[in-house]
Amino acid sequence: MASRPAPLAPVTLPAPMLVRAAALAQAGAWRCELADQRLSWTPAVFDLFGIDPARPLDRCEAVERYTPESRQTMERLRAAAIERGTPFTFDAELVPGDGARRWVRVWGEVERHHGRAVALNGWKQDVTAERAAIAALRERADRDALTGLANRAAFRARLEAGDAGALLLLDLDGFKGINDAHGHAAGDACLAVVGERLASAFGDAHIAARLGGDEFAILLPDAGEARLAAARRIERRARMLSLPVEWDGRLLHFGVSGGLAFVDAGRLADPDAWMRDADGALYAAKRLGKGRIRIA
């Protein structure tokens, strides 16, 4: 019978190799003595915080490098860990000495002696690039690929937040004719230009979105009591959206119709009713001859 191979002995890496590996991962170890709050860091942690390792390390100085929100989170989790003896982890935003903000993932656990918490040990790792990549993916997921405006899902989420004062729904007049006569590439060119114009004309909007096809929606701040004047300003800005678009050596013409609905405090809890008001005003504008904005 063949003999089984002997189990491999565990490999212990020399300390310099561990430090080098941690540096490559942009991570470092830390320790805080609870009796006197004395900190011990490996070189990578000094780099993360932008603190000169040649100077005496002071916890107050280190804590000041956290943004206020991250500082509160850190102190809350730290206190809970000491009280309960449980590990913790969170992402903290730092403002290092160079002023360039970065994100650090913090892991920590409690060291106990005879049942009493005596120290905190853990790791800190730079996750700035990771969070930027996630944010970019989230941004793309919330964007309409053709126009660069927000998509329907992002618009709906913002609508339900209930902090806007006016809702403007827009529809392109004659857009189907452009697709039929010149093809969808021409129609896409028009939509892309309208997206650019809309973002420029309504720079104060809470959100500007393409809902689908040639339908657009904009959430605007509360106009206060001067709603008629606000409606006129909105209509003037909407007119620039319907300027001809140059494509393949020709000018493509279309119009823009819109429905505008202002919201009262009692309507904030019912975004669907608000959408119906604006949609009804939009169809009224189309029935009256298109190329205009109607107020619900």
As a whole number of angstroms, the distance between CA 144 and CA 147 comes to: 6
- Examine the residue annotation and report whether 214 is marked as an active-site residue of this protein: yes
Q: How many residues does the chain have?
A: 296
Tokens at residue 216, please? 């657009």
Tokens at residue 287, please? 């029935």
Amino acid at 135: A
Q: Give the SS3 label for residue 177.
A: helix
As a whole number of angstroms, the distance between CA 107 and CA 31 comes to: 11
Locus of tokens 């590996």 = 21
CA angle 17, 22, 23 (to 5 degrees): 95
Amino acid at 293: I
As a whole number of angstroms, the distance between CA 110 and CA 275 comes to: 53
Residue 1, Cβ density class (10 Å: 0-12 exposed, 13-18 middle, ≥19 buried): exposed
* Cross-strand bridge partners of residue 208: 218
Cα R_g (the chain), whole angstroms: 29
Check 214, 270, 272, 277 and give the catalytic one: 214
As a whole number of angstroms, the distance between CA 92 and CA 69 comes to: 9
Active site residues: 214
